[in-house]
Chains A and B, each alone.
Chain A
Amino acid sequence: LAKTTQPISMDSYEGQEVNITCSHNNIATNDYITWYQQFPSQGPRFIIQGYKTKVTNEVASLFIPADRKSSTLSLPRFSLSDTAVYYCLVGDPGGGYNKLIFGAGTRLAVHP
C-alpha cells in the first residue's frame, strides 16, 4: 500500500502561488497521483491527477519528478476562497484498494 506524507498545515498569503509537496517513496509502476480539495462540511473535490512530468488544468498544476517519489501541487494566485484541506492519494485508478485511502491531508490557510 503506497503511503503518502504531506505537511499537516501550511500558511500563505492572498495572491501568492502555493506549492504543496507530497512524498510517496513506495509508489508502484501502475500508480497515479491524485489530489483532492475539501472545504469544511463538503465532500472532497477532484483537483488534478498525473503519472509523470507535468500536468496542468484550469485549477492547478502537478509536477512529478522522474523518480515519481514525490509530487508537488501548485495553486496559482491563492485566494481566501482556496482555504481548504488538500489530500494527495497514490494508487492504481483502474481499481484496487490503494486509491481509496486518504491521508491526513494538508490544511492550507491564507492570510490577507
Chain B
Amino acid sequence: DSGVTQTPKHLITATGQRVTLRCSPRSGDLSVYWYQQSLDQGLQFLIQYYNGEERAKGNILERFSAQQFPDLHSELNLSSLELGDSALYFCASSVELPNSPLHFGNGTRLTVT
C-alpha cells in the first residue's frame, strides 16, 4: 500500500460530461502529481502541485484542470469529455527532498461512452 488514495476506482460517464477525480496524498507529502495512461500507452504527465501551488505542467488539455486544497488533497477536473479521454488516471505524491521517489495510487479508471 503506497499510502496514496484515489477515488473513485471506476467511473463511467457519457461524452460531454464533467467528472472530478480525487486524490489524498501520503501523510506528510506536499507534492501531488497527476498522470494519464491510455490503453497500452505510457504514463503521460499532466500536472504537479506543491503545497497548494502549481509547480509544473505537462500535456494537460485545456478541458482539464486541477487544484490542491489546504488539507493537501487534490482534485482533477475533466470537462467536455470525449471518447479519447477514457484512460487510467493516476495520482502520485512525494516529499520535496533529494532522492524522494514518487508514490502512486492505484488510479481511477475513466470510461467515456
Contact = CB atoms under 8 A, between A and B. Distances in A.
A and B found bound together: yes
Interface of A: 32, 34, 36, 41-46, 49, 87, 93-97, 99-105
Report, as a range, how many residues of chain B touch the other chain. Answer: 20 to 34
A100 B101 contact: no
Given A44-B92, A100-B33, A102-B43, 6 more contacts: A32-B98, A32-B99, A87-B43, A93-B101, A100-B48, A101-B45
Interface in B2-59: 2, 4, 33, 35, 42-43, 45, 48, 55-56, 58
B111 to A, nearest CB: 13
Contacts of A93: 97-101
B107 A43 contact: yes
Given A100-B33, A103-B42, A41 B107 contact: yes
Given A32-B99, A100-B48, A43 B58 contact: no
Contacts of B96: 94-95
List the 10 closest A-B pairs by CB distance, nearest first: A43-B104, A46-B101, A102-B43, A100-B45, A94-B98, A43-B90, A104-B42, A44-B104, A93-B99, A97-B56
